[in-house]
């Protein structure tokens, strides 16, 4: 008979076949056929393991198990969507770990209840024992697969959890279109399930827990088996528009050119060089997703659209970087004779996770004998949204060489299994009501 660990690895292998790429990764952007196929497989998994599957209007997929009629939920999850040509672990590992953790805790609760009932039948007074009371669950269980965490097909990222937590209006999310003009509403309509109003709501959630691959190499370097996330890096993300003038690549005199691609190139170089203005590790900068118009041979670009993001573990550094970037971009515009505009698309500060949740995660790791460290998350996660509204526990497992958003993304089986065990212990404690909320 296979062990729970064998089952987890077999399920993970089965799930990784959806949208599988030749290089060993997956490609299942939000609302694509590959994402829907994964969601359907996951829905069937939930049904086979005693969960009731529901979806909400924003496409978030839930699996609930009732332990205490009418009680709020301990919600545990992550996301099944991926970046293009991405790894198997980012998000998907956390959803499957959550499902296994909840199934294990639900099974334990059922066994404990049967034992209590048997004891009551034998001797009514035994039921009064404090021990019997404290092991009883205080909350219900819900697994969640947040819709469109990646934001690669539909911006912004963390869309489903943003709607759930009231940070993004549902109508705005549903009206968002991809580059081909397909809306989120249209993409969701192709799914195997439609919302019927029974999915969990924020008001019914007591606590949230999530486990994710680290996507960096701090755990590996510190020799820690697990990370307990205590803060997010601050981030500022922008949509950059560089406007020039379309003209002939050969015939136009150099001094007459207003080349949007040249302006964009200067911005890209400025963003990269900005990081070198600060101590190593204090600023991460990137430019991504370029659209060059008309992107045609023998034609100088009239416009370039791109994303720029700045992240730092220090808000002062981030603010100084933003100021400096503004000057460098003005200079880039002058040199290239283009108009460069920045629009803020996403911004979050250096926000702490609740100390009670960090303490519960740490106590769980110690109880299991896992080496652990406090960790900051550089990447945004659905828990970045959830922690602002409910007490949250966020956990990391190591990523080999810190590789992520790449087909080579990898977490060793023993690390992945330790993470499931840790998330199970955290879920067990949350369901018992052990999280001190201060
Ligand atoms: Zn992720």
pLDDT of residue 106: 96
Determine the distance separating the centroid of ligand 1 and the alpha carbon of 378, expressed in angstroms. Answer: 11
What pLDDT does 113 receive?
A: 86
| Distance of alpha carbon 69 from the chain centroid | 30
pLDDT at 175: 98
- Using the mean position of ligand 1's atoms as its centre, give its distance from the Cα of residue 212 in Å: 7
Going by pLDDT thresholds of 50, 70 and 90, the confidence category of residue 120 is confident
Report pLDDT for 123: 64
* Confidence band of 245 (pLDDT split at 50, 70, 90): very high
For residue 144, pLDDT over 90 is answered with yes
**In the structure encoding, which two tokens stand for residue 161, read together?**
């959890």
- CB burial readout 256-282, b (16+ within 10 A) else e: ebbbbbbbbbbbbebbeebbeebeeeb
> What tens digit of pLDDT does each residue of 34-61 get?
999 999 999 999 999 999 999 999 999 9
Please check the confidence at residue 230 and state whether its pLDDT lies above 90: yes
CA distance 39 to 96: 11
CA distance 258 to 245: 5
Please state, in angstroms and rounded to a whole number, the distance separating the CA atoms of residues 271 and 287.
7
Distance from the alpha carbon of residue 436 to the mean position of ligand 1, in angstroms = 27
Answer yes or no: is pLDDT of 131 > 60.
Answer: no
- Gap between the Cα atoms of 392 and 414, Å rounded: 25
Question: How far does residue 71's CA lie from ligand 1's centre (Å)?
Answer: 29
Q: pLDDT tier at 33 (50, 70, 90 boundaries)?
A: very high
CA distances from 290 to 179, 225, 293, 394 (A): 12, 37, 10, 32
User: How far does the centroid of ligand 1 lie from the alpha carbon of residue 294, in Å?
Assistant: 33
Q: What is the pLDDT of residue 426?
A: 98
Nearest-10 Cα torsion for 63, 68, 71, 73: -30
Phi, psi of 147 (to 5 degrees): -75, 140
Q: Express each pLDDT in 318-369 by its tens digit.
A: 999 999 999 999 999 999 999 999 999 988 888 899 999 999 999 999 999 9
For 40, what's the count of Cα atoms within 13 Å in the CB-facing half-sphere? 13
Using the mean position of ligand 1's atoms as its centre, give its distance from the Cα of residue 299 in Å: 38
Mean pLDDT, all residues of the chain: 95
Instruction: Say yes or no to pLDDT of 402 above 90.
Output: yes
Asked if pLDDT for residue 132 goes beyond 70, the answer is no
Tokens 């209840």: give the residue: 113
What's the pLDDT at 124?
A: 58
Q: How far, in Å, from the CA of 408 to the mean position of ligand 1? A: 15
CA of 162 to the centre of ligand 1 (A): 14
Go through the chain and tell me how many residues it has. 438
Average pLDDT over residues 214-220: 95
Q: Which two tokens stand for residue 119?
A: 């004891």
Query: What pLDDT shows up at residue 257?
Result: 98
Rounded CA separation 363/295 (Å): 55
- Say whether the peptide bond before residue 156 is cis (omega within 30 degrees of 0): yes
Identify the band that residue 233 occupies on the pLDDT scale cut at 50, 70 and 90: very high
Report the distance separating Cα 278 and Cα 275, nearest Å: 6
pLDDT of residue 278: 97
For the question of whether the overall pTM of this predicted structure is more than 0.85, the answer is yes
What value does the mean pLDDT take over residues 400-423?
Answer: 96
Model confidence at 116, in pLDDT bands (50, 70, 90)?
confident
Q: How confident is the model at residue 119 (pLDDT cuts 50, 70, 90)?
A: confident
Phi first, then psi: what are they for 332, rounded to 5°?
-65, -40
For 68, the 3-state DSSP assignment is: coil
Strand, coil or helix: what is 338?
Answer: coil
Its sign, for the CA torsion 388, 229, 226, 220, is: positive
Output the CA 113–ligand 1 centroid distance in Å: 36
């Amino acid at each position: 008979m296979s062990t729970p660990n064998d089952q987890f690895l077999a399920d993970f292998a089965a799930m990784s076949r959806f949208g599988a790429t030749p290089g060993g990764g997956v490609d299942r952007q939000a609302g694509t056929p590959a994402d829907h196929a994964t969601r359907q497989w996951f829905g069937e998994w939930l049904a086979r393991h005693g969960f009731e599957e529901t979806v909400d209007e924003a496409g978030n997929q839930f699996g609930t198990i009732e332990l205490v009629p009418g009680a709020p939920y301990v919600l545990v999850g992550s996301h099944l969507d991926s970046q293009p040509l991405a790894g198997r672990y980012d998000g998907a590992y956390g959803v499957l770990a959550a499902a296994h953790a909840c199934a294990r805790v639900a099974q334990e609760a059922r066994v404990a209840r049967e034992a209590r009932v048997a004891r009551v039948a034998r001797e009514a007074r035994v039921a009064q024992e404090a021990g019997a009371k404290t092991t009883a669950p205080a909350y219900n269980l819900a697994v969640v697969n947040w819709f469109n965490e990646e934001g690669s097909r539909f911006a912004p990222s963390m869309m489903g959890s943003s709607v759930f937590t009231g940070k993004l209006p549902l109508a705005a999310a549903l009206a968002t279109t991809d580059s081909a003009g397909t809306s989120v509403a249209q993409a969701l309509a192709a799914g195997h399930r439609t919302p019927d109003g029974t999915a969990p709501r924020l008001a019914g959630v007591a606590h949230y827990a999530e486990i994710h691959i680290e996507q960096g190499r701090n755990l590996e370097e510190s020799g820690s088996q697990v990370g307990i996330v205590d803060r997010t890096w601050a981030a500022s993300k922008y949509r950059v528009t560089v406007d020039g003038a379309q003209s002939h690549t050969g015939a136009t005199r150099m001094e007459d050119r207003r080349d949007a691609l040249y302006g964009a190139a200067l911005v890209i170089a400025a963003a990269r060089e900005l990081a070198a203005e600060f101590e190593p590790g204090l600023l991460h900068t990137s430019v991504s997703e370029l659209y060059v118009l008309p992107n045609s041979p023998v034609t100088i670009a009239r416009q370039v659209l791109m994303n720029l993001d700045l992240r730092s573990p220090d808000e002062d550094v981030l603010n100084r970087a933003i100021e400096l970037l503004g000057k460098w971009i003005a200079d880039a515009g002058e040199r290239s004779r283009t108009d460069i505009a920045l629009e803020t698309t996403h911004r979050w500060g250096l926000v702490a996770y609740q100390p009670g949740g960090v303490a519960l995660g740490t106590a769980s790791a110690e109880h299991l004998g896992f080496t652990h460290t406090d960790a900051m998350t550089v990447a945004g996660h659905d828990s970045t949204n959830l922690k602002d509204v409910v007490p949250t526990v966020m956990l990391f497992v190591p990523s080999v060489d810190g590789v992520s958003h790449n087909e080579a993304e990898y977490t060793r089986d023993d690390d992945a299994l330790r993470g499931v065990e840790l998330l199970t212990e955290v879920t067990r404690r949350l369901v018992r009501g052990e999280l001190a909320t201060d």
